[in-house]
Each structure stands twice: as C-alpha cells, then as structure tokens.
Amino acid sequence: MDKIYVNKMAFYGYHGVFSEENKLGQRFFVDVILECDLKDAGKNDDLDHTINYQEIYDITKKIVEGPPKKLVESVAEDISSALLSSFQIIQCCHIKVTKPDPPIPGYYDSVAIELTRSR
C-alpha cells in the first residue's frame, strides 16, 4: 500500500493528567502515516486523487490545540477518527503523539504513544 507521511508536526496543547499540564500546557509532536492507493494521483498528477497535506495538518492542529484530554491516547484516537472520516481514500492510519516534556522525574528524551486504525 502507498503511504503519505506528515512528520513531526509541532503544536502547543493542554493535555495531561496533572492540573499544571492543563493550566500551563506543553509541546506535542505528531507523526501521521496514511496508507492509501496513490496510483491515480501519480498517473494523473491531480490533487483530487490524493490528500492535501495542509488538510492533514489543519485537522491534527484543531485536535491537539483543542479541548484538553487527560491522555495522549485520546488525542491520537481523535486524530485517527477525524482523518479516517474526512478522507475515504485512507485505508489505514498510523498516529504517533510525542510528549517531549512530561512532568515526570527522570532522564529521557520523550514519551510517546503510537496507534494504528483501519477501516
């Protein structure tokens, strides 16, 4: 299956279990991989046969910068649901939400969840 990648989109959101996360907010990075048939887009050089990357970004931004959720798992679920319902061409989507600065003690680069949803 062909794939569209939109990598490391950066947003500022207010998701988290702790009240300070909901009050102060933090950075989130989102990677999206969409599996779909891009053969007609490639043959016809026509945007109508693929997905506009700006639309993927806008949908993702609206969710990440929207109302707070406790869990990034819920954020990722909302992104996958919105993309699958917005674009019938998508057969499967992979969503990765990275939280680079969660308020937990220790030394680490980031925490992230990744999920895959199909039609």
As annotated, the active-site residues are: 99
Which residues on adjacent β-strands are paired with residue 34? 4, 93
Three-state DSSP at 59 gives: helix
Amino acid residing at 5: Y
Contact between residue 83 and residue 35 where contact means Cβ atoms under 8 Å apart: no
HSE (CB half, 13 Å, CA atoms) of 67? 2
